[in-house]
Structure 1
Amino acid sequence: MTISVAVSGASGYAGGEVLRLLANHPQVTIGAITAHSNAGSRLGELQPHLHSLSDRLLEETSVQNLAGHDVVFLALPHGASAAIAAELPEGTLVIDAGADHRLEDAQAWEKFYGSAHAGTWPYGLPELPGQREKLRGARRIAVPGCYPTSALLALAPGFARGLLLADDVVIVSASGTSGAGKAAKVNLIGSEVMGSMSPYGVGGGHRHTPEIEQGLSNAAGEPVSVSFTPTLAPMSRGILTTATAKVAPQVAKGLDVQELRQAWADAYEDEPFIHLLPEGQWPSTKSVQGSNHVALQLAYDSHVGRVIVSCAIDNLTKGTAGGAVQSMNIALGFDETAGLNQQGVAP
């Protein structure tokens, strides 16, 4: 079975990454490739690494150009996907890499994004408890944010097993600059970023906070509150998340650290892309660069009764495009790893 796929936002980082993965997918034919301000340009001018597609011309992002395909990827700015998605046929698999359809709480959307809530679609993070079943046969999928992908994979197993307290979760993530998109910004130019790190969205103001809380709350079966601080790292791609939570008192009493670790080992035992590293080995962003893989490690700080989980992903691959293609594969009944067999890149 071969399917036709259209990709919007193809001149940006997320859209370009979707195309990179689809170009090697054995069951995909790439149809319309669209953009907004770059419509009419040759793709190779803007994405020179996509050699097999370099002569393709970018079309205008419109319902007319996107319709007629089996699958449509919307790699558009937040708030831009909903109007187009609403006009695409119900039988088309629409995969939104933006935030428009991720949140279940309309008030949280309006607070953090400042516009009307467009509704909620199945969430494209299949490794969460029960999520893979919701993606099978779906025709609308919301791709998670890159920070939430790393944070949820780091802590969901502990909450799903009732091991962690819901009111004292602290997450700090370092991300490469590609997470901010391709538009020119002074704070992202080389002179500002090289040799420097800086926080942003401090004090609960980052838009991914409600998405992280939503996912952990669903895993825990009760509301989870999160203090999330993102930081900008001097690298082009990758996320390293350090997530900590208090271990429940009844668990901490006489805790066997191996039993705590086993909860994560059990959760991810059969997952093709998630790797709980051997004890003593800690994740690095370089080890997963360019791949859909996730590297995890955990420790227990008995002094304060907290579990610490470190998680490394590539923000453009597993954090966006890879998660989108993985979800497409599940929805259509393909091999889940199709088009996603890339290993990390080193050095």
Structure 2
Amino acid sequence: MSYSVAVAGASGYAGGELLRLLSSHPDFIVSTVTAFQNAGQRLVDVQPHLRSLGTLSLAETTPQNLAGHDVVFLALPHGKSGEVTAQLPENILVVDCGADHRLTDPADWAAFYGSEYFGAWAYGVPELIVGGGKQRDNLVGATRIAAPGCNASTVALSLAPGIAGGVIEEKDLVAVLAVGPSGAGKSLKLENLASEILGSANPYAVGGTHRHIPEIQQSLRGAGAVDPTISLTPVIVPMSRGILATSTARILPGTSATAVRDAWAAAYADEPFIHLLPEGKLPRSGDAIGANTALMGLAVDQAAGRVVVITALDNLVKGTAGAAIQSANLALGIPETTGLPMDGVAP
């Protein structure tokens, strides 16, 4: 069965990545692409790497242009998608790659975003541990899905097995992430110009101010934490895309190194897109570029009493567009891995 698809925000990085993946999806037919400032231009003039979609032109992003499709993907800045989705029919599948529908607590939204709260949708991280199961169970048959924040899903996937397995403490969680500037979007920002980031590593949103913190805490509560605390420090590094997240947590007293590793191995043993590397092996960010895979390396620091989880993924694929399509597959009853690459691009 084929599904007609519209992509809003098609001129941005996330929108372009959605279209790159959708172009080879056997069940999704992209028939409409929309934008704001770039409306009226040919898609290929804005996204010149998308040659297979060269016949499409960018329409204006309005509910009228998006309605009438089976599936709508939104890749819009926060505050924009909520305005649009409120006017879309309930019987179509809408997947929001922005932040507007991720948080379940209006107080968290007010504290970290400060704009109108549009309510929470099914969270689009299928592998995330929720109670005794996985989040994919909540995505089957869903018509409204919130794709994750890339930093948030990376850290949550890194730490949730330890929470659910009862091997780490939920306090004093720490995550430091090396991230590519594409995660900040395509609009021009001085701090993300090549002359500013080449040869430099630049921290941002430090000291508990990053907007993905409540999203991480929300996910960890779903895995069994009660009141988790996390120090999150992202650092922009000179690579166009990718995340290398180093997440650490205190190991519960009396827990063996074997039990720690077993918690992660059990959590992801059957997951097609999350790979726990053999003991002693650690991932590189480049190993996951272009793929919908998250690669994890795990080490136990006996002297410090902490577990160290290093996770590499592509922020535009597994962190955003790939997660959105994977979740849409589940919602529609399509095999979860359909249209999604497991192999990265090298060098």
Asked whether the two chains share a fold, i.e. TM above 0.5, the reply is: yes
Question: Separation in 2 of the partners of 1:131 and 1:275?
Answer: 18
Tell me the equivalent position of 2:330. 330
Match of 2:293?
Answer: 293
Displacement after TM superposition at 1:188 (Å) = 1.1
Instruction: Give yes or no for the alignment of 1:186 onto 2:190.
Output: yes
Which letter does structure 1 place at the counterpart of 2:85?
A: A
Query: Residues 293-314 of structure 1: CA distance to partner in whole angstroms, max 9, x if unpaired?
Result: 1100111111121111000000
Shift of 1:272: 0.4
Q: Is the 8 A contact 1:47 1:54 kept in 2?
A: no
Aligned in 2, Cα 1:221/1:170: closer, same or farther, shift over 3 Å?
closer
Q: Which runs of 4+ in 1 moved over 6 A?
A: none
Shift of 1:55: 3.0
Alignment of 1:191-340 (within 5 A): 191-251=195-255, 255=256, 257-340=257-340
Unaligned runs of 5+ in 1: none
Is the Cα contact below 8 Å between 2:139 and 2:330 reproduced in 1?
yes
Question: What is the rounded CA distance, in whole Å, between the counterparts of 1:77 and 1:51 in structure 2?
Answer: 25
Which range moves more in the overlay, 54-63 or 215-224?
215-224
Partners of 1:259 and 1:111 in 2: CA distance: 37
Structure 1 residue 189 displacement after superposition: 1.1
TM-score by length of 2: 0.97
Deviations 1:29-73 (A, max 9, x none): 111100000000011111111001123110000000000000000
- When the two chains are superposed, the root-mean-square deviation of aligned CA atoms in Å is 0.9
Q: Percent identity at matched positions?
A: 56
Task: Write the distance in 1 (CA, Å) between the matches of 2:91 and 2:227.
Answer: 35
- Partner amino acid, structure 2, of 1:133: D
* 1:182-233 Cα distance to aligned partner (Å, 9 max, x none): 0111111111111110101010011011111111122124121111111101
User: What is the SS of the residue equivalent to 1:249?
Assistant: coil
| Residue identity in the other structure for 1:222 | V
Among 151, 156, 161, the alignment partner of 1:157 is 161
Letter of the 2:328 counterpart: M
For the 8 Å contact 1:146–1:315, the answer to whether it is kept is: yes
The aligned counterpart of 2:140 is: 136
In the alignment, what sits opposite 2:103?
103
TM-fit CA distance, 1:250: 3.9
TM-score when normalising by structure 1: 0.97
Structure 2, gaps ≥5 residues long: none
Q: How many residues align?
A: 343
User: 1:116: how far off?
Assistant: 2.3
Secondary structure of 1:164's counterpart equals coil
Of 212-221 and 133-142, more deviation after overlay is shown by 212-221
Q: Is the 8 A contact 2:273 2:292 kept in 1?
A: yes
